[in-house]
Structure 1
């Protein structure tokens, strides 16, 4: 197999890696202007919301994990907005809605990304907001080359825009036509929104932090909140139910919300500590997998597979590596479905304990398991969502639900705008050793209509909540939907790296072989990113309509035909996804020798690392 596709970038000044070359360049520009990693991550994040509009928007969500090198402070900035105060289970049922639709006003939550970037800048940045926001404003005003994925998404939902979402048609169908991939695309309304936010910031006074707070108030308590309230409350829009609804989000929901700083959740693995968000997101599911894999003694299998170049031998270690990683993912994600969420207490210490990992490791057999097996980490069995209980019964009976589509982390979009598996990612390290990993997403152009005059859409993350009482991920006002967004840091003694990927439920699957090959197998960051990838579709999807494929395994063909056949012989339902198709990983950090490092995914052609 031929990898890596490019060298790991090495330097001493700064590194940025992201899912779009313009965002990486903007992050590096910010470092060159004297900013630190926190300034650069925010500048890149704002830019991603403009240049990857089918994956992210200014009204989306943005969990961020940061590490301040001066004192070792590692933290999460939670930019996941909450469920509106009026969005109760009874309110949905009164509308005849048993599942939150994946599109439209009913799924709208508080937009958290803008507040998260402002919070990161105020606490840890150094540059004025105007400098950090200027590149994104410029791309909105002057244009950027429209990505093929964005053009395809617009084309898929063009009739929805024309017939039902006129505010979206006005922005995304210039002159009434679907824009072509690569053409210069402008969003004048968004540019004017950014300009007005900066004007409000400047009016708050000369102080940097005061200006940031002025912009926050303009967004969450001023003209943005007022426009959101008027549109969501006053304009019914067609959604995935097939009917038009107004929504529950109001100005007071925005005013009551602020981004919060929280501790990370971490476990030791292979000489580093791997840091994730709390279980209001799916991040700890990666930590559970690492715990179980460590218990299973995966190190020897990884080293043998890497030493043999991941050769296509049906009796070789690669077959065992893929099989074990997939079976462990099934167990960890079953726990995610049963125990994670913001609406109830989560037994996280028990879920991450070595004793529980040992208990779960005993369930990994030599053949693919078709069961959905959440555990009882503190001696109590979970109360499962009705839809998952039904899916478990169907899987046991051999019934296959609609498969989740493989992909790079680009969205799977229906003509009604229902979207799965999409987001952006950025990693930054600066010359002082500060590191940031961020996964901005939501506010997708195809899933929610543009708010009139603002040029952006709202996040539809409430679709991840269950319209059922008593579950950790139940729909409960002012709680966070259990997001799939999952940035990460791996930190050692003076070294370590930020990493992550888009991909919905795959955001904590694709990084597992990457970490194993890098931390245990000795591959460098770029080679570990480039190596053939896979994931399980036995895992229940977090997005409407929650599809899954019992025993499903999606794999890149570079694993080899005999390896894929051997996995099928073990009971996996194998889908060959092509040679370069899965994941959009990137990473940036500090090596054990002190060099700054960065690497980015070659799949999909627009992820790049930059640095010096």
Structure 2
């Protein structure tokens, strides 16, 4: 099959990310003697500069990594928690029935910075200044602003001028909206990083990193964030002004943490994901369901193949709604959800036609929880007036471009109800493998300047991840101080019995594991090369409630790229799917890297949006 670009192959190292500059920065770290962890940290910080509308320093990141020398695969959780003052009662006392999707009030503890520095301290080899140097360079000297970033800033420019006044000096240089393709600079952010490096002082590599972590969580950064949240109320998606709950004490009490991955077997592969504080186990559940079918006999564009994947995903996402949450606060029956017996029972629900209900499994002891979840989902989807804001969109670049099979429009949920300070953000992803076999898969997000006002003097905005919480008690996703929101961020590592290894992921909110599922099955069942598998047409379901406002559920609705072909679209329609057709090359931003048993390294990146790139040698 024709592919859009060559698959990158080599033995020294490979990097694939959603921005070509970040990929090159990661490769530069490998070239100067760094390992995959050094490269990952440099890429993570650089993406905050070159894709500022998709991730920022005060965002969050789950990191899946494999340390070759120890032969250990781990999760590093860079998802911050709800502030101590952010309770359901605190929101309801202000007349809010949902967490607004924008503004200071939706912030949780920023998690990305500490996660990157912990990874560098414990597994890297370079100094903090070395890995921050490229990000500082692009913040000071400038980078060609992406079209998506220019559009995002344009859409909130008036809000910057009238409501979020601290954002204007950073994002509207000279008072004007920056132009796509022209150099954009953020010297304020560069100065923040230079000050952190200066306050880190001298000493060993580890001592410098520890002082930098302190400077962030208890020094001038935390002080500025604390002061900003306590200052004047600012507009958010509720249409009213609120102060934030986040304090310096919240930042001082939290740090990124290591965890064991949640794993499941699929044929001769072990797939590794985060725990149920993320949506990652959805992918594992879907794969367990698909084990009961001989997918290798089906072409990866066959209607039957697509139908089975979509139906498996619908069942897995229904379980996500009923059971997933921070396991430090909720009893999540993960062993049952990933068991062969449970998968066999659930698989029997997949028929020839599209299922019409949100249908979670009812595990003994969880009956009341499932009933409460379904009732809450119906209330939210019924439009009770409680939804306040928008987070990661399905496909930010696809507004009003998708069409139904009969010519009707779909696109993003209507933006008519949104306030001037509420615009969608999204996410980035990257994968790194070095010559030693170290691997990193990371999906940074949050801290979007279009969703939260910029902190004066720091050059970045806070995150709005608290919007994922429910303000209804006793649900796995209910807001509780100190709890992690159930993030949509979901990187993947996978290992085969023959010694092969894979790292992959994509931006895209609730679609991340859906697009990764088709990629994994095409790689494992159909043995496609990386680039070819990424280039294949993509599809996803809109059946389950979204994680972000308006938490829209569209029963039976699927979105497919038009290059699947009309005959496939017609057959999916016959099977009961409500098919919406997106333009070819428009869904998802998959990247991937792989290691073969003989040490050959491979990498690939999506051509969609024309900015992701894989490099290596």
TM-score between the two structures when normalised by the length of structure 1: 0.93
3-state DSSP of counterpart to 2:271:
strand
Alignment CA distance shift 1:513-1:373 (3 Å):
same
User: 2:128 aligned with 1:129, yes or no?
Assistant: yes
Alignment CA distance shift 1:461-1:391 (3 Å):
closer
Alignment CA distance shift 1:468-1:406 (3 Å):
closer
Give the aligned partner of residue 168 of structure 1. Answer: 167
The answer as to whether partners of 1:465 and 1:473 remain within 8 angstroms in 2 is: yes
Aligned 1:383-402 pairs, distance under 5 A: 383-384=372-373, 386-390=375-379
Q: Distance in 2 between matches of 1:410 and 1:136?
A: 29
How far apart are residue 28 of structure 1 and its match? 0.2
Q: Distance in 2 between matches of 1:33 and 1:410?
A: 39
User: 2:520 aligned with 1:515, yes or no?
Assistant: yes
Give the one of 359, 371, 382 matched to 1:373.
359
3-state DSSP of counterpart to 2:457:
coil
The answer as to whether partners of 1:105 and 1:245 remain within 8 angstroms in 2 is: yes
Q: Distance in 2 between matches of 1:391 and 1:77?
A: 32
3-state DSSP of counterpart to 2:502:
strand
Alignment CA distance shift 1:416-1:355 (3 Å):
farther
Aligned 1:45-444 pairs, distance under 5 A: 45-201=44-200, 203=201, 205-295=202-292, 297-300=293-296, 303-306=297-300, 310=301, 318-342=302-326, 343-378=329-364, 380-381=366-367, 382=370, 383-384=372-373, 386-390=375-379, 406-407=394-395, 416-420=420-424, 422-444=426-448
Alignment CA distance shift 1:262-1:582 (3 Å):
same
What RMSD over aligned residues (CA atoms) do the two structures have, in Å?
Answer: 1.8
Deviations 1:48-91 (A, max 9, x none): 01110110001100110000112210000000000000000000
Q: Distance in 1 between matches of 2:166 and 2:198?
A: 25
Which residues of structure 2 form unaligned runs of 5+? 384-389, 400-411
Q: Distance in 2 between matches of 1:513 and 1:409?
A: 21
The answer as to whether partners of 1:385 and 1:471 remain within 8 angstroms in 2 is: no
The answer as to whether partners of 2:425 and 2:446 remain within 8 angstroms in 1 is: no
How far apart are residue 105 of structure 1 and its match? 1.0
Q: Distance in 2 between matches of 1:30 and 1:410?
A: 34
Q: Distance in 2 between matches of 1:481 and 1:499?
A: 23
Q: Distance in 2 between matches of 1:408 and 1:499?
A: 21
Q: Distance in 2 between matches of 1:103 and 1:191?
A: 25
Q: Which has the higher mean CA deviation after the structures are superposed, 360-369 or 586-595?
A: 586-595
3-state DSSP of counterpart to 1:356:
helix
Q: Distance in 1 between matches of 2:510 and 2:311?
A: 15
Q: Distance in 2 between matches of 1:106 and 1:386?
A: 26
Alignment CA distance shift 1:244-1:386 (3 Å):
farther
Q: Distance in 2 between matches of 1:421 and 1:346?
A: 29
Alignment CA distance shift 1:185-1:198 (3 Å):
same
Q: Distance in 2 between matches of 1:466 and 1:366?
A: 35
How far apart are residue 387 of structure 1 and its match? 3.5
3-state DSSP of counterpart to 2:75:
strand
User: 2:478 aligned with 1:474, yes or no?
Assistant: yes
The answer as to whether partners of 2:381 and 2:550 remain within 8 angstroms in 1 is: no
3-state DSSP of counterpart to 2:191:
helix
Give the aligned partner of residue 603 of structure 2. Answer: 598
Q: Distance in 1 between matches of 2:115 and 2:586?
A: 31
Alignment CA distance shift 1:455-1:209 (3 Å):
same
The answer as to whether partners of 2:431 and 2:439 remain within 8 angstroms in 1 is: yes
Give the one of 442, 449, 455 matched to 2:453.
449
The answer as to whether partners of 2:393 and 2:426 remain within 8 angstroms in 1 is: no
Give the one of 548, 551, 554 matched to 1:549.
554
Q: Which has the higher mean CA deviation after the structures are superposed, 181-190 or 2-11?
A: 2-11
Q: Distance in 1 between matches of 2:487 and 2:312?
A: 21
Which residues of structure 1 form unaligned runs of 5+? 311-317, 395-401
The answer as to whether partners of 2:154 and 2:177 remain within 8 angstroms in 1 is: yes
Give the aligned partner of residue 527 of structure 1. Answer: 532
How far apart are residue 9 of structure 1 and its match? 0.8
Q: Distance in 2 between matches of 1:275 and 1:417?
A: 37
Alignment CA distance shift 1:421-1:570 (3 Å):
farther
Q: Distance in 1 between matches of 2:295 and 2:255?
A: 42
How far apart are residue 377 of structure 1 and its match? 3.3
How far apart are residue 4 of structure 1 and its match? 1.9
3-state DSSP of counterpart to 1:479:
coil
Aligned 1:479-498 pairs, distance under 5 A: 479-493=483-497, 494-498=499-503
Q: Distance in 2 between matches of 1:529 and 1:190?
A: 34
The answer as to whether partners of 2:425 and 2:448 remain within 8 angstroms in 1 is: no
User: 2:593 aligned with 1:588, yes or no?
Assistant: yes
Q: Which has the higher mean CA deviation after the structures are superposed, 566-575 or 275-284?
A: 566-575
Deviations 1:534-563 (A, max 9, x none): 000112110122122111100000110111
Q: Which has the higher mean CA deviation after the structures are superposed, 588-597 or 503-512?
A: 588-597
How far apart are residue 569 of structure 1 and its match? 1.7
3-state DSSP of counterpart to 2:227:
helix
Q: Distance in 1 between matches of 2:112 and 2:272?
A: 20
Alignment CA distance shift 1:245-1:410 (3 Å):
farther
The answer as to whether partners of 1:350 and 1:378 remain within 8 angstroms in 2 is: no
Q: Distance in 2 between matches of 1:385 and 1:146?
A: 43
Q: Distance in 2 between matches of 1:166 and 1:405?
A: 25
User: 2:27 aligned with 1:28, yes or no?
Assistant: yes
